[in-house]
Every structure is written in structure tokens, then in C-alpha cells.
């Protein structure tokens, strides 16, 4: 199984990269459909860009989980990798923005891909070390709790900077 980990990580990165890119535009392509809003980017806020990473990673994890059903640490590893990717997006964005003072689109796009890359690289490392998981159901429940937050905050975002669209100065939809 250790040999196939790199292939799974590469596939996960590809699915997340493609899926996140698609989700970035899907809301506008569907004339701002409230059905796709919970899963796609509805504005240019940092939070919405985190959502673009999260949902493809979750979808890939659900498919991958079928093949890794006997791997005890699977859901804990997926939770840790997903959290790393989600944390990297705002950390890198606010760090470089604080240093440079501007937000060129090409850097924002690169942040998404860098975060996905390191999330899957970290997961591959954990899979190869055969990380154990004391409470896999709790790890899976935490992933679905995060999914719930993304959905709820699409419609009812807190008035915090991470939720603010820098283009229009609005929050959520």
C-alpha cells in the first residue's frame, strides 16, 4: 500500500486543484444559484477560497475512503491534512499581504495550489508512517462539522475580515 500512497496523493492534488478551480467559477456560471452557493465560491473572501479547497478534499476523501476502509488511521489523517490546507490559505495570504501590501491574483491562485500540495504531501507522509487513529468516527464527524460551518457561513457569515469580500466589501451572498 505504501507505494500507492504517492499515486493517491497525486490524484488527490489533481482532483482538488481541478475541483477548486471549477468551484471558483460555478456560482457565477449558474447565475448565482443558491443550490451551488454552499459548495462554491460566492465572493473573493479568504473564507470562500478555503471552501474551494475543503469540498474537493472532502469529496476525494469519501472516494478514497472506500479503498482505504481497512486503514485504521484514515479519517484522522484526512482531517489533519485538510486542516493543514485550510490553515495554510489564510496564513500565507495574510502574511504575504502584510509584507507586500497588495494582493496580485497570480499569488492568490498560487496560494490555493501550494496549500493543496502541502496538504496532500503531509497526508502521504502520515499514511506512510501508518498513523493510528483512536477515534475515527470523531475525525469524520469533525470534517462534516467543518462542512456545516462552510454552508452556514455562506449564508450567515460573521462580520470578520476573513469573511469580507475585498472587491465589494460585502459578506457572504
Q: What is the mean pLDDT of residues 61-83?
A: 93
Residue 97 in grid coordinates = 499581504
Q: Averaging pLDDT over each range in 96-100, 116-120, 168-172, which range is the top one?
A: 116-120
- Which region holds residue 171: left if phi is over 0, alpha if psi is between -120 and 50, else beta? beta
For the whole model, what pTM was predicted?
A: 0.93
**What pLDDT band is residue 42 in, cutting at 50, 70 and 90?**
very high
The pLDDT of residue 101: 83
What SS3 state is found at 164?
A: strand
pLDDT tens sequence across 28-39: 999 999 999 999
Give kind and range of the element (H or E) at residue 56.
helix 46-67
Q: What is the mean pLDDT of residues 68-92?
A: 94
pLDDT tens sequence across 147-167: 999 999 999 999 999 999 998
Backbone angles phi, psi at 164, to 5 degrees: -85, 130
Cβ pair 171, 157 in contact under 8 A = yes
**Is the pLDDT score of 146 beyond 90?**
yes
| Residue in 79, 85, 84 with CA at minimum distance from that of residue 135 | 79
Amino acid at each position: 500500500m505504501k507505494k500507492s500512497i504517492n499515486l493517491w496523493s497525486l490524484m488527490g492534488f489533481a482532483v482538488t486543484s481541478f475541483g477548486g478551480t471549477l468551484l471558483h467559477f460555478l456560482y457565477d456560471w449558474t447565475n448565482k444559484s443558491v443550490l451551488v452557493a454552499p459548495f462554491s465560491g460566492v465572493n473573493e473572501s479568504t473564507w470562500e477560497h478555503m471552501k474551494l479547497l475543503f469540498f474537493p478534499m472532502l469529496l476525494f476523501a469519501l472516494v478514497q475512503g472506500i479503498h482505504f476502509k481497512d486503514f485504521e488511521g484514515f479519517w484522522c489523517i484526512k482531517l489533519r491534512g485538510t486542516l493543514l490546507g485550510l490553515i495554510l490559505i489564510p496564513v500565507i495570504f495574510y502574511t504575504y499581504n502584510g509584507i507586500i501590501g497588495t494582493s496580485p491574483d497570480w499569488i492568490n491562485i498560487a496560494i490555493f495550489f501550494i496549500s493543496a500540495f502541502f496538504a496532500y504531501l503531509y497526508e502521504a507522509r502520515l499514511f506512510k508512517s501508518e498513523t493510528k487513529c483512536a477515534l475515527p468516527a470523531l475525525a469524520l464527524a469533525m470534517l462534516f462539522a467543518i462542512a456545516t460551518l462552510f454552508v452556514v457561513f455562506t449564508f450567515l457569515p460573521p462580520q470578520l475580515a476573513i469573511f469580507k469580500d475585498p472587491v465589494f466589501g460585502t459578506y457572504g451572498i
